[in-house]
Structure formats: C-alpha cells, structure tokens
Chain A
C-alpha cells in the first residue's frame, strides 16, 4: 500500500513539474511577455521598461527564469496582481470559499440525485424510466451551462420572482437563509451536467454488479430484494464512483467558472474572467496553475482512496 501511494505521489509530482512548465510557457507566449500591461501605458518610456525588465530578472535566459519562478512558486510566492498589488495567492484565497461552497453543494445534489437515477435505471433496465433517464442525461450534457443559467434566471427570478438573480447574499444580510436562498439556483444549474454524468456511470456500475455471482447467491438464499440492492449491490457499485469523482473534477471546475459568470457569484471563476479583462496575467496564471493543481490533487486522492477501499487495485 505504502509503495502504491509513493508511486502515485511521484507521478503526481512529475506531472506538476510539466504542468508548471506549461503554465510558464503560456505566460511567456503572451504578446509582449509578462510586461505587456506596463508596456501599454503611455507614461512608460523604453528606458523605464528596460529597467523594470532588469529588476524583475526578465533579461535572463528562460530556463533560469523558469527555475527561479518554480522555486518561488513552490515556496508560495506566486507574484502580485497587476491590479492592486495583492499577492496572487491571497487574491485566490479570498475567492476560493465561494467557489468551494458552490461546487460542494452542486456535487451533493448530483451525487444523491445521480446515484438514485442510476440505480433505479439499472434495476429497471430498459423501462420507461430508464429510457427517459438516458435521453435526459444526454440532453443535460448538451445544454450549454450558461444558457441553462439564463433560462433559470428568466423563469425563477424574472417571471416568478422566487429566487434572486445573482450574487452570494443580499447586501447587508449574511444570514444562513439568505445565503441558501442565493445558492439554490447556481448550485442546481451547476449540478445538471454532474447529475447526468453520475447517473450514467452509476447505472453502468450497478449493472455490472447486479450480474455478479454473489448477487445471484444472495437471491438464492432468499434474501429480500431491497437488502440485496442496498447492502450487497449498492456498496460495491459505489466503489468505482470514487474514480468518477476524481475524473469529474476538471468538468466541475470549468462548469463553476461559467455558472459564476451568469450568477455574478464572487468566486474563482468570476475572478478569472475579471482578471482576463484587466490583462492581470499573474492572477490569470495563478488561477490556471491553482486549478490544475486542484485537479491533480483530486485525482491523486481519488486513486489513493480507491486503493484503500478496494485492495484489488494495489496489485496492478
């Protein structure tokens, strides 16, 4: 087990190095390089620009710059925002909570609903419910998240007036109920695609388990059907879903970005778009790196957790 974890950890660190090199390359691909924002200013003379270039060490060879940047990144120095001079990591930190809140709620909805739909679809395979769920999942995967968000706002905020059309809370009101009221619409919108994916994977995982010998044995013993499904089948069918959670993470993060834009949710995705608008490269790069790291850690955790609960994996 320790060996497996060490192995996976090594792979993750290797990937992190490649990811960081990619991030660095993108930053330097920017027309004009990392200084383009300053260079665009009319008050900046060529002399000033040269001096800043030297001060920031941008005149050195790229590999040296990369090592320097990597070293500082590992130590938590991700540079400062062009907009307000705040350290990039604290800017990200102040927006992370809102994003995590949104993602966690959406995942909770998706897991509960998706697993229920998937199990029912597998147990009543080819029934009307199963066909509707399959078609519904395909359509849910095809609807642009932002458009679904717009339609939700139109129906529930504009027409019915039941839900607020955006933001995390009413100004001056931060009570739990107010937060929850604002959370419902964006969380449901983000959960749509996730529910479809969880439902489909759950269905196929459950189908695989139901046809196993031990399920037939349980039936032969005369065990009640509900007990077979919940105790024997569901527990085993849920195992591979750990991997799905890991694989799903990038999609979830991307979906959160789009959802946050539509609902003016003050999270990381919203920050990312604002920073793009301001050409605030340190923050853009910071979020890009940060999200890639979250994905990397997510898949690492999923793999390790899977190995813990399913001993068969460790051998391979």
Chain B
C-alpha cells in the first residue's frame, strides 16, 4: 500500500478496471466457476462413457458413487452426470443466447427512446413500462402455453420477457449522455443520428450495459429452470437443468440425489453470473453504487 501510494503510475482505464476486478475475489471465483461449467458441459460428454438419453432399466435409481455412475442414475437408468452435462449445454446456451437477443433489442429500443425522446421516446418507454407490469414468470408461462415448446421458442420467449429492463438502463444512459459535450460536438461535426447513437453514445454507456448483460444471463438461466421445471420449456428426452427437476419431485423420498445435482448446478451457475456482474459493476464504474 505505502509504495503504491507514493508512486503515481498512470494506468490505462482497462488496466485499472482489471485491478479493481481482481480485488473482488467472489467475482473471480464466479468467473472461474463459469469457465469450469462451460468447459464441463462442452467437453464432458465426450469423455464420459455414458449417453445422456441411453435408457438402462436394469440400473434404475443407482445411488451416487455406486459403481460406474458418479452421480447415480435416474428413474429410467440414465446417467445423471451425462444428463447434467448435456442439460448444462442447453441451460447455459439458453442463458447466453437469450441474453444476447435481449441485449440487442433492449439497446436498440433504449437508444432510440433515449436519443429522440419526445413522442417516440415516451411511446417506447410506456410500452416498456406496460410489459414490465406483467410478472415475468406469468407472461413467460402464458406465452409458452400458446406456442410449441422447444429450445428455440424457450430462448426467444425468455429474451422477450427480459429486454425491457435493459432498455430502461440504456434509455437513461443515452438520455443523459446526449447532453454531454462530446455528443454535441458530434452533432456539430454533422454526424448522422444513427452514427451518434451507436458510435458515440452507446459505447460510452458500455459499463452498465455489460453489467446488465451479465446479470441477465443469470436471470435467463433461472427463468429457463422455472419454465422447464413446470413442463413448458425444454421437453424430454432432451435434458435441461430445469426439466431434470421436473420428475425429481416424485422421487424425492426414494431418490433425493435426482433433485440435488441439477439444483446445485443451477444455483452455482446463477450465483457465479451474479457475482461476476457485481464484480464487473465495481470494476467498470466505481461510482455506480446500486445495492
């Protein structure tokens, strides 16, 4: 501390952010956990000698650590670890893809509403307010009930219920940045509105956007688990962390391990993304202090 305080080393903004991020040990742990979960889901199924949909009636309900099945088998004799890994592929990619779509829509709507303001802004933001009135899980389930369930629909529906909060963040940022000197200078240079919006304003609002994106992955993974648990998301025989818990409730007394593994996986993934988002918030913008 003492030597560091005496020397004034000029750090690049990126470097300073990295140093702040590194101090946030939980965020670092979150990032490591995410990497492990992603690598495990991506490459694990190639290493494991079991197929996630292979049914072996003779080996139903094998408890964990008994024989070859590390996490045991489920009610159809399928290997729980293999399903956990394949389910991880589904749940994590839904989280990331849904977030990407939600961010794209949210940034677009938020940037237009914040930049143009007036009637366009008011109409867009009132629309956002109106959609936010519906509790996300209610809206998601109602829409899921109306459509054919599957990977694609689940991802799109989660994105459809998640973009509004992003739009709010971006709108507020763009609206305040629009009045700053660099934006006025860009207007004076004769830059087009689109260029000002997406080359000047949105990049300067990147810190809160990145934080929102990270927290949105967490939210999307949680939402997927809710819809799939309730039977309106990913359909069996394909596995997702949510639908693995769908059947687990019935076998709670006889085979509790079926409920534990997927639940821990979801909690681990969501906690990691939340800690990561928290750490990024501290790192990217120390002034931003949202509880």
Interface residue ranges, A against B (CB under 8 Å) = 14-15, 18-19, 22, 26, 29-31, 135, 138-139, 141-147, 150-151, 153-154, 158, 200-201, 203-204, 250-251, 253-254, 257-258, 261-262, 272-273, 276, 279, 284-285, 287-288, 291-293, 295-296
Quick check: A292 and B133 within 8 Å, CB to CB? yes
Can you show 29 pairs from A to B with CB atoms below 8 A apart?
A: A14-B126, A15-B126, A15-B133, A18-B130, A22-B130, A26-B142, A30-B146, A138-B271, A138-B274, A139-B267, A142-B270, A142-B271, A143-B263, A143-B270, A144-B226, A144-B267, A147-B225, A147-B259, A147-B267, A150-B252, A151-B263, A204-B289, A250-B134, A254-B136, A254-B138, A257-B135, A257-B137, A258-B226, A288-B142
Which residue of the partner chain, among B131, B147, B245, B291, contacts A147 with CB atoms under 8 Å? B245
Residues of the B chain whose Cβ atoms lie less than 8 Å from the Cβ of A203: 291
Question: CB distance B141 to A273 under 8 Å?
Answer: yes
In the complex, the chain A residue whose C-beta lies closest to that of B252 is A154
- Main SS at interface, chain A: helix
Is B132 located at the chain interface by the 8 A CB criterion?
yes
Q: Are B134 and A292 in contact (CB under 8 A)?
A: yes
B134 near A295 (CB under 8 angstroms)?
Answer: yes
Our pick among B130, B218, B291 for the contact of A15 (Cβ within 8 Å) is: B130
How distant is the Cα of A222 from the Cα of B253 in the complex, in angstroms?
60
Interface residues of B (CB under 8 A from A): 26, 126-127, 129-139, 141-143, 145-147, 218, 222, 225-226, 229-230, 232, 245, 248-249, 252-253, 256, 259, 262-263, 266-267, 270-271, 274-275, 278, 289, 291
Q: How far apart sit A115 and B133, CA to CA, in the bound complex (Å)?
A: 26
A158→B252 contact, CB < 8 A: yes
Cα(A147)–Cα(B265), bound, Å: 11
**A144, A253, A285: the one within 8 Å of B225 (CB):** A144
Q: Please name the residue on chain A nearest to B123 by beta carbon.
A: A18
Residues of A within 8 A of B142 (CB): 26, 276, 284-285, 288
Looking across the interface, which residue of chain A has its beta carbon closest to that of B145? A276
Q: Which 3 A-B pairs have the closest CB atoms?
A: A204-B291, A142-B270, A18-B130
Whether A146 pairs with B229 at a CB distance below 8 angstroms is yes
Tally A-B pairs: CB < 8 A.
Answer: 130
A204 contacts across to B, CB distance below 8 A: 289, 291
Contact status A276-B133, CB under 8 Å: no
B138 contacts A257, C-beta separation under 8 Å: yes
**Are A154 and B256 interface neighbours, CB within 8 A?**
yes
Considering the complex, give the chain B residue whose CB is closest to the CB of A287: B138
Q: A142 to B133, alpha carbons, bound, how many Å? A: 22
* Cross-chain contact A288 with B291 (CB below 8 angstroms): no
Which secondary structure dominates chain B's binding surface?
Answer: helix
The residue on A at minimum CB distance from B144 is A276
Does the CB pair B130–A150 fall under 8 Å? no
* CA gap between A29 and B266 in the complex, in Å: 32
Residue with the highest number of chain B CB atoms closer than 10 Å, among A142, A203, A293: A142
Q: Could you say which residues of chain B place their CB within 8 Å of the CB of A146?
A: 225-226, 229, 245
Q: Which residues of A contact B262 (CB under 8 A)?
A: 147
**Choice from B136, B138, B245, B274 contacting A142 with Cβ under 8 Å:** B274
Q: B161 → chain A, closest Cβ, in Å? A: 10
Given contacts A138-B275, A142-B271, A295-B133, contact A150 B245 (CB under 8 A): yes
* With A154-B256, A258-B226, A276-B145: A253-B138 Cβ-Cβ less than 8 Å: yes
Contacts of A258 in B (CB 8 A): 137, 226, 230
Give, as a whole number of angstroms, the nearest-CB distance from A78 to chain B: 15
CB of A294 to closest CB in B, whole Å: 9
Report the bound CA distance from A273 to B139 in whole Å.
12
For B267, the closest partner residue in chain A by CB is A143
**Which residue of the partner chain B has the closest CB to A256?**
B135
